[in-house]
């Protein structure tokens, strides 16, 4: 099978799993990597048997057809635009951009050049959420009515070696973890019509307790507890709460879907596996559902591999730039709605991504 030749820009911690899974799927081959830190790029290149080079050299390489953009969020749009201008398809880590204007620009340039944009998260392509999509499509809980989703934590300053950016604009729990939850909900229920929310900064200052920055004071400049309501075009209404302000722990589920005939417990959307549980209206208790799909271990990069397969076979890819922009707009819309005391009407929409067919081999992405 032909493989799309791919270059990775950004060789930080997350790049390791992309290198690893680049060899797992049969649609792409990682052939080069680049970073502003040339020593780090060279080390990663040597470790994974690819070429190490500068960003400019990678973008000028004619054999490289797609760029996987693993830079810091503030650089996502700039690097994506560079890659598109160089004639490369681009797949980015989340978020697509840090402003709506940048996100729209990335999509506009891609369309004008006949190129594709894809974006993480791709965890909804794992066996857990793909099983939930299958259950929904087969009518196990009837007509979806609503959903609740919770990401409740105490913040990263206790463990992260550099937690400052989590508390700056473009950070916070909504922009850090919200893309996993919103993308999963869109994959399950389709696009969003409107949003509203209430957002606050509960603690104006954080104190780092990680070994690297113990005792450092961090000024909080973005909301850290956000309660939002999402109205979906298909009918259901959902509540999403994301928080870095939960000091005593939480036992709330990650995502629950409510239907006319039962309830579906969806697994953590930051993972690829289960558990998946269901309770139908006529049942006396919950049932554990075996996963119907594979890719339930750490398959980060499956979205990029699916995009590569889609380019080769000329079909739609599942982690589309349009869906990533829709999620980005929803997050900004929630904050706008809180600030203005209104509902925010979504201006974008997207296609609900096609589910994987049953029976795929672990390395395959097409039936």
Last residue of a domain, one of 119, 147, 174: 119
> Would you say residue 297 lies in a domain?
no
Residues 101 and 136 in one domain: no
pLDDT score at 215: 92
In percent, the amount of the chain with pLDDT more than 70 equals: 99
Residue 354 lies in a domain: no
Catalytic residue list:
94
> What local confidence, expressed as pLDDT, does residue 165 receive?
84
Do 76 and 129 lie in one domain? The reply is no
CATH of the domain at 207: 3.30.360.10
Note whether 141 and 77 are same-domain residues: no
The residue from 228, 260, 288 where one domain ends is: 288
In-domain check, residue 325:
no
Q: Is the pLDDT of residue 366 over 90?
A: no
User: What is the domain range of residue 239?
Assistant: 124-288
The predicted pLDDT at position 237 comes to: 98
User: What is d(CA 244, CA 30) in angstroms, rounded to the nearest whole number?
Assistant: 36
Mean local confidence (pLDDT), 141-167: 93
For residue 169, the model assigns a pLDDT of: 86
In a domain, 305, yes or no: no
Higher pLDDT, 120 or 163: 120
Residue 282: which residues within 8 A CB-CB, separation 6 or more?
none
Read off the pLDDT band of 181 (50, 70, 90): very high
| pLDDT higher than 90, residue 157 | yes
In a domain, 158, yes or no: yes
198 and 109 co-located in one domain = no
For residue 82, what is the domain's CATH number?
3.40.50.720
Query: pTM of the predicted model, to two decimals?
Result: 0.95
Kindly state whether residue 304 falls inside one of the protein's structural domains: no
Assess whether pLDDT exceeds 80 at residue 122.
yes
pLDDT reported for residue 68: 98
Do 130 and 277 have their domain in common?
A: yes
Same domain, 163 and 254: yes
Same domain, 77 and 130: no
Q: Is the pLDDT of residue 367 over 80?
A: no
Q: Which two tokens stand for residue 54?
A: 């500068």
Q: Are residues 20 and 68 in the same domain?
A: yes
Quick: pLDDT tens for 220-271.
999 999 999 999 999 999 999 999 999 999 999 999 999 999 999 999 999 9
Q: What is the pLDDT of residues 64-110, one digit of tens each?
A: 999 999 998 889 999 999 999 999 999 999 999 999 999 999 999 99
Residues 134 and 276 in one domain: yes
pLDDT tens digits, one per residue of 55-73:
999 999 999 999 999 998 8
- Percent of the chain topping pLDDT 90: 88
Residue 310 has pLDDT above 90, yes or no: yes
Same domain (yes/no): 282, 142: yes
Residues 91 and 238 in one domain: no
Mean pLDDT of the chain: 95
Confidence band of 362 (pLDDT split at 50, 70, 90): confident
Q: Please tell me the total count of domains within the chain.
A: 2
Is residue 328 included in any domain, yes or no?
no
pLDDT of residue 78: 97
> Are 60 and 113 members of one domain?
yes
Predicted pLDDT at 1: 62
- Final residue belonging to a domain, choices 98, 119, 140: 119
Residue 233 falls within a domain, yes or no? yes
Nearest to 223 by CA among 241, 237, 211, 247: 241
């Amino acid at each position: 099978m032909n493989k799309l030749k791919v270059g990775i820009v950004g060789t930080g911690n997350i790049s390791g799993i992309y290198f690893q899974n680049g060899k797992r799927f049969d649609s792409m081959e990682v052939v080069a990597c680049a970073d502003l830190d040339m020593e780090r790029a060279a080390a990663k290149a040597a470790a994974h048997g690819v070429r190490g080079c500068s960003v400019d050299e990678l973008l000028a390489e004619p054999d490289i057809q797609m760029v996987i953009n693993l830079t810091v969020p503030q650089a996502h749009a700039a690097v994506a635009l560079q890659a598109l201008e160089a004639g490369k398809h681009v797949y980015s880590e989340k978020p697509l951009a840090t402003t709506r204007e940048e996100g729209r620009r990335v999509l506009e340039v891609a369309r004008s050049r006949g190129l594709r944009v894809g974006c993480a998260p791709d965890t909804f392509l794992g066996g857990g959420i793909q099983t939930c999509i299958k259950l929904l499509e087969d009518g196990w809980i009837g007509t979806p009515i609503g959903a609740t989703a919770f990401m409740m934590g105490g913040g990263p300053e206790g463990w992260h070696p550099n937690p400052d950016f989590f508390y700056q604009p473009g950070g916070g729990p909504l922009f850090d973890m919200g893309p996993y939850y919103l993308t999963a909900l869109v994959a399950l229920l389709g696009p969003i019509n409107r949003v509203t929310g209430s957002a606050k900064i509960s603690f104006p200052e954080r104190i780092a307790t990680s070994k690297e920055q113990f005792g450092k004071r961090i000024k909080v400049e973005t909301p850290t507890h956000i309660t939002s309501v999402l109205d979906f075009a298909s009918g259901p209404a959902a509540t999403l709460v994301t928080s870095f302000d939960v000091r005593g722990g939480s036992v709330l589920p990650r995502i629950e879907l409510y239907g006319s005939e039962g309830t579906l417990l969806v697994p953590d959307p930051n993972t690829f596996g289960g558990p998946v549980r269901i309770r139908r209206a006529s049942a006396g208790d919950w049932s554990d559902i075996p996963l119907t799909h594979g890719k339930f271990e750490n398959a980060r990069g499956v979205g990029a591999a699916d995009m590569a397969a889609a380019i080769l076979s000329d079909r739609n890819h599942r982690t589309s730039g349009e869906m990533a922009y829709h999620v980005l707009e929803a997050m900004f819309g929630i904050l706008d709605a809180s600030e203005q005391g209104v509902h925010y009407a979504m201006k974008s929409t997207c296609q609900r991504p096609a589910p994987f067919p049953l029976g795929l081999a672990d390395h395959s992405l097409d039936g």
